């Protein structure tokens, strides 16, 4: 007889919410701050002006990330709640139709009609709304939207990412500012990409190349624009 006790497994889907926000925030923090520093430095600004611009970019970017992530994820949460409320009303007013709908879902997944009916009936008795949320709407506690968590993770990770090129900016000699910030930021991005890929179960080398490649392109374009507009005419 099989034991109902589940064996422990390690899955990574429970990391989706915070991992996405953290990686996005740190990546934006490094890329936007380094790009800002390189753009201002390329325009022949003083070391102090470059550093002030970088600090301002850190504060503004962190607040922007938090606000944007909160609004975005809250919109997702509102949609999820609206769908759940609709399912709750349908279960109250048309339980038989909802049971047939759940049965059809399980038949479509490969169960016989008889077994699908039994499964649908038992799950409905146990937690009807939970069964429809999971199997009809594709919602679960693991992947549900958490606006505050996403906002805090984005803001904090952006700040951490932005501090890295700022620290290099503060320590680098003025004449070597651009190569130091550029090279170190690409290295930071490669490390971030590798760590994020490993946390998500992907190839670290691919993650490192993807993140650092796009970051290098963004910094190069911004530095070019700074040099163009900062050049004497």
Render pLDDT for 169-214 as a digit per residue (tens, 0 to 9): 999 998 899 899 999 999 999 998 888 788 777 788 988 898 888 8
Find the angle CA(125)-CA(127)-CA(130) to the nearest 5 degrees: 145
pLDDT tier at 19 (50, 70, 90 boundaries)?
low
Span of 34-38, 94-98, 114-118, 141-145 with lowest mean pLDDT? 141-145
Predicted confidence (pLDDT) per residue in 48-67, tens digit: 888 999 999 999 999 988 88
CB proximity list for 46: less than 8 A, separation 6 or greater: 174
pLDDT given for residue 166 in this prediction: 93
* Assessment of whether the complete model's pTM goes beyond 0.85: no
Higher pLDDT, 103 or 43: 103
pLDDT given for residue 118 in this prediction: 92
pLDDT at position 229 over 60: yes
pLDDT given for residue 1 in this prediction: 43
Percentage, residues of the chain above pLDDT 90: 19
In the predicted model, what is the mean pLDDT of the chain? 82
Predicted confidence (pLDDT) per residue in 90-133, tens digit: 888 888 988 888 899 999 888 899 999 998 999 888 888 888 88
pLDDT tier at 142 (50, 70, 90 boundaries)?
low
pLDDT at position 216 over 70: yes
């Amino acid at each position: 007889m099989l034991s109902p006790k589940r064996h422990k497994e390690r899955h990574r889907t429970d990391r989706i919410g915070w991992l996405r926000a953290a990686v996005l925030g740190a990546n934006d923090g490094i890329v936007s701050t380094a790009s800002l520093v390189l753009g201002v430095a390329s325009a022949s600004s003083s070391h102090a002006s470059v550093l002030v611009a970088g600090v301002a970019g850190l504060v503004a970017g962190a607040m922007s990330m938090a606000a944007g992530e909160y609004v975005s994820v809250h919109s997702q949460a509102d949609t999820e709640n609206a769908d759940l409320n609709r399912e709750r009303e349908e279960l109250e007013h048309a339980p038989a139709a909802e049971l047939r709908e759940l049965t059809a879902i399980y038949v479509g997944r490969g169960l016989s009609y008889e077994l699908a009916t039994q499964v649908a009936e038992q799950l409905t008795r146990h937690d009807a709304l939970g069964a429809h949320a999971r199997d009809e709407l594709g919602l679960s506690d693991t992947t549900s939207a958490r606006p505050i968590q996403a906002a805090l993770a984005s803001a904090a990770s952006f700040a951490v990412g932005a501090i890295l090129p700022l620290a290099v900016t503060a320590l680098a000699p003025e004449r070597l500012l651009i190569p130091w910030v550029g090279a170190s930021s690409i290295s930071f991005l490669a490390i971030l990409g590798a760590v994020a890929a490993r946390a998500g179960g992907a190839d670290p080398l691919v993650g490192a190349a993807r993140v650092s490649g796009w970051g290098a392109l963004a910094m190069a374009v911004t530095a070019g624009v700074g040099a163009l507009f900062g050049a004497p005419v």
